[in-house]
Amino acid sequence: MKAISLMRQQWQSTEYNTRSPADSGVVLEWPLFLMTMECSVMKPLILSALLAGVLVAASCGSDSSASANVVARVNGKDITAAQLDKQVQLQLNGAEQPASPEELQDLKLQVLNRIINDQILLEQAAAANLSASDAEVDVKFNEFKSQYSEEKMQDLLKQQKMTVDDIRNELRKSITIDKLVNKEITSKISVTDAEIKQFYEKNRDKYNLPESYHIAHILVTPVADPDLHNGKNDDAKTPDEARQKAARLLKEVQSGRDFGVVAKESSEDPSSGPAGGDLNFQPLQAIENIDPRLAQAVQKMRVGETYPQVIETRFGFHILKLTEKEAGGQKDLSDPRVQSDARQTIFNRKDQTLKNAFSEAARNKATVVNYLAQRILETAGKAQ
């Protein structure tokens, strides 16, 4: 599945999107324990469906003087070394090389700082009578669980030493903080037409785009993947079987079956399959980078046409469809996609700034003692 994951990343990096990575940031991140459960193969669907999140917040502890087991105290509530170590270990899982002592200390400080901030926000949410309902937690949990087979789900829980209740509890915290942020920040952000026009004039070059092709594909591979839930996607176990299956699916499409339906049923691309094989608009160079054979095929196709042959690449066997073609050149502000992109970029920038400010302001009101930081400073320069 590494090849498929690579292909998925390459497709996604070429979608119609003129924003720089810095423009798309949000402060409140995907829950740390979920980010690390799948390491580098986190499903895009999960990220888009559950974008708002929160790192695991500390549970209540005693208000006694700090012991070596206490790494921080937030408004009289302890964060223990065990709680911190669990979150740090989740981040370290799957690392190619062990962290150095200095890297480990730095990671601990970063994770602890985020735990502290999230605990403060959870307390603010409670003061505002904001919380997640069981129904809301059910929805998010089902979205998360749907990405895995039962076997894979159990393996992940065992690997991370977590239970279903642990996941539900963290999702509850995530939803709660999302409600607070939406109430205090997101719902109050506005973007004016004048701001959009000004942004466009300053970033015209970003909207001078090459010719692009809106394509869809059905992917068949000889690789078994228990995480795929399309029902008909795991019966080809060898390259010959995969090629034959792709040929059979191509005939189904050519005989009149809806391309999107066949993709949802049988495509082994876990990203585009559920979307009917849709890969969005792609410039020719991006398609060339994936595989020259795909680029050659798309240039020969008419809009609405499915390529008459199965295309073999290092990822497997593809059935390719061209749904739309767009000429290159400077995109005008009257283009709805340009307006939408500019508006979202401006919104994201405002959102990021306000969330940072909100988090810092909330921390200013809290009583926080970071014992871990104190101990690191006290031992600086001493022999370990």
pLDDT reading at 256 higher than 70:
yes
pLDDT reading at 123 higher than 90:
yes
Domains of the chain: 26-191+346-378 (1.10.4030.10), 211-327 (3.10.50.40)
At residue 360, the 3 state secondary structure works out as helix
Query: Are residues 220 and 265 in contact, defined by beta-carbon separation less than 8 angstroms?
Result: no
CB contact set of 310 (below 8 Å; sequence gap of 6+): 243, 246, 247, 250, 317, 318, 319
List the one residue out of 368, 382, 324, 383 whose CA is nearest residue 72.
368
Instruction: List pLDDT tens digits, range 180-210.
Output: 999 999 999 999 999 999 999 999 999 999 9
Instruction: List pLDDT tens digits, range 126-172.
Output: 999 999 999 999 999 998 887 777 888 888 888 877 889 989 999 99
Lowest mean pLDDT among 226-235, 276-285, 287-296: 226-235
> Of 275 and 380, which is predicted with more confidence?
275
Split at pLDDT 50, 70, 90, the class of 357 is very high
